[in-house]
Structure 1
Amino acid sequence: MAGRFEPLAGGGAAVALDEVEISILRSLTQQLAELIGPGEEPAEGDDPLASLFTEGPSEPPSDAALARLFPDAYGDPGKPGPDDDELQGYSAEFRRFTENDLRGGKRTAALQVIRSLDELAAQGKDGGVLKLNAEESQQWLGTLNDLRLTIGTRLEVTDEDEGGELYRLPDSDPRKPMVMAYLWLGALQETLVETLMP
């Protein structure tokens, strides 16, 4: 089971992680949660009902990784088209009413991953077997995906790079640890997807 998710009865999943893997996953997930941030929070003392209707940002994030995590809903900013202005307006409107919730969901999932890693680390210094129920498995899947998207964006990985030069970097290249993390997270994500498929 080392390094692979395996199915559990009831729709959950389990994976054996050692102390170093727990530490790396926790650190990366903490950084992801900080990058995502809480979104726009209502001011203290605001009506709780009004906070349900708090509008978020209308502009895409300037950080490339955040833009990858929270892409425009309409159109492709890299490929302008004849209705580009209209699509940007739709995307801005959609973003205003959804991005805060999306950020909150991603942050909640990341924090759950951190909690489960902390619980596993507390069981023993050498790691152990992490057991997730069906809901936790979905949170892990989303967070692993977000981690890969973020690291891939930082490394400027494209579809054409799959199996390309990034995977053959010399050990002296400063990008090598991030590439190794990217590949490892991809393998974890793939086995979790396989585990959760009916």
Structure 2
Amino acid sequence: MPGTFEPIPGGGAAVALDDVEISIIRSLAVQLLELIGPGPAEDAPGDPLAELFAEGPSEPPADPVLKRLFPDAYCDPEETSASPKEAEERRAYSSEFRRFTENDLRAGKRDNALAVIRSLDALTAAGEGGAVLRLSPEESRRWLGALNDLRLAIGARLEIADEDDTDLLYRLPDEDPRKPMVMAYLWLGGLQETLVATLMP
């Protein structure tokens, strides 16, 4: 079980993690939370409807990681065949779509990252020297979402655009400063793949 998720009776998944692995995943999840930022209700904590009726941003984020996590719905940056009018229409549709959906997307990603942090905190509070993390089916889905977001974030920082870029990462020399981030990216990919397998019927 070390380093891979396995299904457990009754649904859900389990993985053995040592203290270093727990620390790495928790740190990455905290960084992801900080990057995503607080919800709109943070400005009005006494108003329970603030987040429900708050409109999201209409422009894509400037940060390349956030751009990867919250891509435009109708605009393809690789698309060059669209006429100027079509491109303008797509930008308008994307802007409108983003305005009404991004807050919910951010909230979902925050919830997933928080679920990871809380489950790891509960694990470390129960003992030392690593432990077996056991997740319910719902927790497994939240972990899967968070692992996907973490890999997207790291992939954006590494400027991974396609499979060829991933192949190049395997051949990086040990002294390359990107090597630790690459190792985290590949390791999280293995966790994600085995967690997907546990959720398949």
For normalisation by structure 2, the TM-score amounts to 0.93
Among 118, 142, 146, the alignment partner of 2:149 is 146
Contact map agreement 2:39 2:51 (CA 8 A) in 1: no
8 Å CA contact 1:16–1:128 kept in 2: the answer is yes
Which residue in the other structure is 2:16 paired with? Answer: 16
Aligned residue pairs total 198
Instruction: Output one character per residue of 1:131-178: Cα deviation in whole Å (capped at 9) or x when no partner.
Output: 000110000000000000000110011214355222111111110000
Separation in 1, partners of 2:93, 2:24: 39
CA distance in 2, matches of 1:186, 1:44: 38
Distance 1:24 1:45, change over 3 A: closer
> Aligned to 1:172, which of 157, 170, 175?
175
| 8 Å contact kept, 2:41–2:50 | no
> Given residue 32 of structure 2, which amino acid in structure 1 is its aligned partner?
L
Aligned equivalent of 1:128: 131
RMSD of aligned C-alpha atoms?
1.6
Secondary structure (helix, strand or coil) at the match of 1:48 reads coil
Give the match's secondary structure for 1:52: helix
Structure 2 residue runs of 5 or longer lacking an equivalent are none
Please list, as runs of the form range in 1=range in 2, the aligned pairs for 1:1-198 lying within 5 A after superposition.
1-41=1-41, 43-44=43-44, 47-49=47-49, 51-80=51-80, 81-82=82-83, 83-198=86-201
TM-score (norm 1): 0.94
- Stretches of structure 1 lacking an aligned partner (at least 5 in a row): none
Distance 1:16 1:162 in 2: 30
State the distance in 2 between where 1:144 and 1:77 align.
Answer: 25
Shift of 1:34: 0.7
Report sequence identity in percent.
69
